[in-house]
Amino acid sequence: VPFSRYYLSCPIESHYATYNWYHNNSLIKTCNTTHPQQDCFHFIQNVSHGHYGHYVCVSEEDGFKQALVKEHLVNQFRFLFQKGQATTTFGSWLQLLLVVALVELFH
């Protein structure tokens, strides 16, 4: 939802691995695992259009990479608006058919 806060969480499975968050294949955050913590968080203070897309948390240790979390952040308002347009269009057709039926009935 635009202008809201959102966070992504990636579980830390090894304190020897490096954990990176990627947004649409671009590195956006690296977590330091030398301090005791359970998760690698990426916090979005104020969601905007540029934050939508694919997020992946990848762990890397001794040359081995593994995607631990994959998320797709979408604009819910846009989805609801498009869904609402389809409903409105269908409703408009029903109203038109009702008017035509009434005209034919009283004609």
Cα 90 to Cα 22: distance, rounded to the nearest angstrom: 40
Task: Dump pLDDT digits (tens) for 48-71.
Answer: 889 999 999 999 999 999 999 999
Q: 15: pLDDT confidence band, cut at 50, 70 and 90?
A: confident
Residue 11: both structure tokens together: 């579980």
User: Do 69 and 56 touch, CB atoms closer than 8 A?
Assistant: yes
Average pLDDT over the chain, rounded to whole? 80
